Amino acid sequence: MPIRLLPRQLVDQIAAGEVVERPASVVKELVENAIDAGAQRIEVSVEGGGVDRIVVADDGGGIAADELPLAIASHATSKISSSDDLAAIGTMGFRGEALASIASVSRLSITSRVTGSDAGARIEVDGGIASEVRPAGCPVGTVVEVRQLFHNVPARRKFLRTAGTELGRIEEVLESIALCRPDVAFRLVADGKTRVDLPATTDARRRVLAVLGESIADGLLEVTADTVLEGGAPITLWGLVGRPSLARGSGRALRFALNGRAVLDRTLAHAVKEAFRGLVDPGRTPIAFVAVEMDPSLVDVNVHPAKTEVRFRQPNFVHQCVMRAVRDALRAADLVPSFTLMPHAHSLVPAISSTPTNPTPYTTRTISTDFSDFAALAVDRALHATPPVALVSAAPETLHGNRTARRVMQVHGSYLVVEDAEGILVVDQHALHERGMFEELKARIAASPLESQRMLVPVAIETDPRAVEAIADAGPLLERLGIELGAVGPRAVLVHAYPTFLLGRGVEPAAFVPGLLAQIAEDGHADFESALHAVLDMMACKASVKAGDRLSPAEIEALLDLRDRIERGTACPHGRPTALRITMRDLERNFGRS
């Protein structure tokens, strides 16, 4: 087949594949055009999930009648005029592709009137073929109607989802844009029913709550930062992040704005997730909206036709700024989740004796206030069955943190129950000790590799071939951990050196190395910090006290003191809470005292 130029209409349809993926893409492009036109109110109406009909009406500046044919032409725009403009883009659109791409795969009409004009004008396009411009009565602003999307590209249409799914995507896109522009009113009507109605406001927090939900208002923390990048360029950010307990299973509640533009950026997302690392389960994503304002010349938005991906010229500085601001907000907050008691009919609860019938002995030893010494105390397990509740009293004269009483109850050898100023605090001893061990290991390894001991007789560990192959690439990680491994065949390794930290806690190579190798094989070594975090987490988990370990009064006090001294003591490295609070308000309500 000879080489030949493609027809203009076919070129536009191919280009539309990048710009117009689904009805939500059409809504995004048209709404952003309305914002660029200075609209203060934008209304979107859809039918059939946007496949049958999309109408976007705004009260912006409008399009002059003689410019309507240009508006639907490829690469025609009023927003840039030279290559220099691409270096500092301050508008939502700039490529001049959206209307031409949409018109090539739908039946489109534009009705518009500019300020000062006595009448409006209308142009219609069917599959890329435009009509003449005709006079039309309309208010100042623009109304764009898109009907029968992909009617002339059936291959694209069959890949669309159900009307409900497509409508959900449209709603998500509109809310993302609305978060970035609280000064603009937005309304979405689907098949005659209002789905989104967001009045304009000068209060950014009010807009965020209107989108994310008023029910989580008490769980949101404000994030602010005002600093400079390398070279002195200013960068400011504001946002709201949810407490770790609000984290969700999907990333849809993680949203960002950059200079008023809704973006999907890995740098920003990674910064927020890193700030929450160890506070939420790795499989969950924090709720957050973060708006960043910076010099447009320091960010490239001309990465993809959809304009949702960006490229920062100083990504590391931006990442650090966002991560530090979110961490500061988390550090300043009390992140202990409250355990809400459900109201119920009053019932009598039989009293529990504080003295067990057959007390189980446990070994009591003196303990140093130094954490590393405490970490070495492996509590002797009981020789007999443990009683359901053991009550011990604290020895020190001073109380730690927010506590208001010295008596501490250890329940089932797993939980510590203490009184604090707000009610009752239930502490998970394993989760809290694991967090303490993790922070101790992280501090040690930041200073130097962990101290290791060479094995008199190397320990052989069986594993899968992928892990054996990954050992060579994981050399820097293993060196920091004080572990030396050597392959002895396709399915086995020898442990030549092992951390004294783990040996001192009774964690033998056979109990730890298989999990380490599985982690290396699964995650690889691409993200060194993430891999290090995961391995330190494994080490902390293996070496910490376990559920069922009976603790002496001195050990309990040391553990509670640890909670107040370490960073992020409210969650274990996996993101599970180390403590839950039952407030006095909940207790009084359930006992009928309020």
Cα 458 to Cα 401, 485, 542: the distances in Å are 46, 9, 21
Same domain assignment for residues 180 and 273: no
Residue 224 lies in a domain: yes
pTM, two decimal places: 0.72
β-bridge partners, 45: 55, 189
Measured in degrees and rounded to the nearest 5, phi and psi for residue 282 equal -55, -25
Give the pLDDT score at 387.
39
Domain final position from 198, 231, 255: 198
SS3 316: helix
**Consecutive 10-residue runs of the chain (594 residues): their mean pLDDT?**
77 67 94 95 97 97 95 82 74 80 93 94 92 95 96 88 94 96 97 96 96 93 94 94 90 92 92 90 90 93 76 93 95 80 50 42 40 40 36 46 71 91 90 90 88 92 81 83 89 91 86 81 61 82 88 88 82 88 87 77
Give the pLDDT score at 13.
66
Give the pLDDT score at 305.
66
Structure tokens at 355: 């003295």
CATH number for the domain including 296? 3.30.230.10
Residue 363 lies in a domain: no
Same domain assignment for residues 208 and 193: no
Residue 81 lies in a domain: yes
Same domain assignment for residues 194 and 210: no
Residue 526 lies in a domain: yes
Same domain assignment for residues 549 and 432: yes
Residue 257 lies in a domain: yes
Same domain assignment for residues 319 and 231: yes
Give the pLDDT score at 386.
39
Domain interval for residue 404: 369-594
Residue 2 lies in a domain: no
Same domain assignment for residues 165 and 108: yes
Same domain assignment for residues 185 and 78: yes
Give the pLDDT score at 480.
87
Residue 37 lies in a domain: yes
Same domain assignment for residues 404 and 484: yes
Same domain assignment for residues 511 and 443: yes
Domain final position from 198, 225, 243: 198
Structure tokens at 408: 């501490």
Domain final position from 179, 198, 217: 198
Give the pLDDT score at 379.
36
CATH number for the domain including 445? 3.30.1370.100
Give the pLDDT score at 344.
53
Same domain assignment for residues 397 and 283: no
Number of Cβ atoms within 10 Å of the Cβ of 486 = 12
Residue 583 lies in a domain: yes
Cα 379 to chain centroid distance, Å, stands at 38
As for how many domains the chain has, the answer is 3
Give the pLDDT score at 75.
77
Cα distance between residue 524 and residue 530, in whole Å: 10
Same domain assignment for residues 51 and 120: yes
| CA dihedral over 182, 185, 190, 193, signed as positive or negative | positive
Q: Which helix (H) or strand (E) holds 590?
A: helix 584-590
Same domain assignment for residues 157 and 222: no
CATH number for the domain including 96? 3.30.565.10
